[in-house]
Amino acid sequence: MFSLGIVGAGQFAGSFAHLWRLHPGVGDIFVTDLLADRAAKLVADHDLAGTVASFEEMLDSDVDAVAVFTQRWTHGPLVEQALRAGKHVYSSVPMAITEQEIAAIIAAVEDTGLVYMMGETSHYHPATVYARAQVEAGAFGRLFYAEGDYVHDMDWGFYDAYRYSGGENWKSTASYPPLLYPTHSIGGVLGAWQTHAVSVSAIGVVDQRGDGVFDREISQFDNDFSNATGLFEVAGGGSFRTNEFRRVGYIGKESRFRFFGTEAVFEQLDSVSLWQDKSGRRDITEQLEPAPTLSPDDPSLAHLAPELRGAFASGTAPIHDRSRLPREFEHAANGHEGSHHFLADDFVTAVTTGALPPVNAWTAARYTLPGIIAHQSALQGGVRLPIPDHGGGPA
The continuous run of DSSP H or E covering 79 comes out as: helix 75-84
| CA-based R_g, the chain, Å | 20
Return the bridge partners of 150, or none. 244, 255
Residues 331 and 3: their CA atoms lie apart, in Å, by: 24
* Ranges 185-189, 196-200, 291-295, 356-360: which has the least confidence: 291-295
Condensed to tens digits (0 to 9), the pLDDT of residues 223-238 reads 999 999 999 999 999 9
Return the bridge partners of 258, or none. 147, 267
- The pLDDT value given to residue 281: 97
At residue 395, does pLDDT exceed 80? no
Is the previous residue joined to 94 through a cis bond, with omega within 30 degrees of 0?
Answer: yes
- The pLDDT value given to residue 312: 83
Residues 6+ apart with CB under 8 A from 2: 25, 26, 27, 64, 65, 88, 351, 352
- The pLDDT value given to residue 239: 98
Other CB atoms within 10 Å distance of the CB of residue 148: 33
- The pLDDT value given to residue 8: 97
What is the arithmetic mean of pLDDT over 55-71? 98
* Ranges 31-35, 163-167, 331-335: which has the least confidence: 163-167
At residue 221, does pLDDT exceed 80? yes
- The pLDDT value given to residue 305: 80
- The pLDDT value given to residue 21: 98
- The pLDDT value given to residue 225: 98
Condensed to tens digits (0 to 9), the pLDDT of residues 240-295 reads 999 999 999 998 889 999 999 999 999 999 899 999 999 999 999 999 999 888 88
Helix 339-353 vs helix 13-22: crossing angle, to nearest 10:
60
Mean predicted lDDT score pLDDT of the chain: 96
Residues 388 and 200: their CA atoms lie apart, in Å, by: 11
CB 276 within 8 A of CB 178: no
Write the DSSP symbol of residue 94.
P
Percent of the chain with pLDDT over 70: 100
The continuous run of DSSP H or E covering 227 comes out as: strand 225-234
Percent of the chain with pLDDT over 90: 89
- The pLDDT value given to residue 114: 98
What is the arithmetic mean of pLDDT over 97-123? 98
- Confidence bin at 296 (pLDDT 50/70/90): confident
- Confidence bin at 300 (pLDDT 50/70/90): confident
Backbone phi and psi for residue 265, each to the nearest 5 degrees, phi listed first: -135, 140
Helix 361-379 vs helix 183-190: crossing angle, to nearest 10:
120
- The pLDDT value given to residue 298: 84
What is the arithmetic mean of pLDDT over 315-337? 95
Condensed to tens digits (0 to 9), the pLDDT of residues 127-175 reads 999 999 999 999 999 999 999 999 999 999 899 889 988 888 999 999 9
- Confidence bin at 308 (pLDDT 50/70/90): confident
At residue 121, does pLDDT exceed 80? yes
Cα–Cα distances (Å) from 183 to 75, 160, 178, 226, 271, in that order, read 14, 22, 10, 17, 22
- The pLDDT value given to residue 188: 98
* Ranges 191-195, 225-229, 248-252, 345-349: which has the least confidence: 248-252
Helix 75-84 vs helix 99-112: crossing angle, to nearest 10:
20
Residues 390 and 386: their CA atoms lie apart, in Å, by: 13
Cα–Cα distances (Å) from 348 to 29, 71, 341, 356, in that order, read 13, 23, 11, 11
Nearest partner of 149 among 245, 233, 250, 285, judged by Cα: 245
